[in-house]
Amino acid sequence: MALLEFYGEECPHCQRMRVLTDEIEKEHNVVIERVEVWHNKENEARMLECDKELCGGVPFFYNTDNDKWLCGEVTKEELTDWAKGE
């Protein structure tokens, strides 16, 4: 399973979510792959492939195992459920 966090380096929403993703990684022993898209065209293309016009921006969270996704700033509970595949 791959947990992907697509983000923009200067995005304030992404920076706030980073705090939660760090906590979830530690608390639930998962790895969330961070993929910067504002300064990397290959990563942006990868995000668009996963996004399928669901979010259209960052932060965008995608679970490759079950195709679950989250858009924007979400609660810790929502992010935890996503990371655990629920």
pLDDT at 55: 92
What integer pLDDT is reported at residue 86 of this predicted model? 83
Residue ranges in the chain modelled with pLDDT below 50: none
| pLDDT at res. 6 | 98
Predicted pLDDT at 13: 97
> Can you give the pLDDT at residue 1?
59
Quick one: pLDDT at residue 59? 97
Return the pLDDT at 35.
97
- Long-range (24+ apart) CB contacts under 8 A made by 30-34 are 30/3, 30/83, 30/84, 31/3, 32/3, 32/4, 32/5, 32/61, 32/83, 33/2, 33/3, 33/4, 33/5, 34/5, 34/7
**Structural domains of the chain, ranges and CATH numbers in brackets:** 3-83 (3.40.30.10)
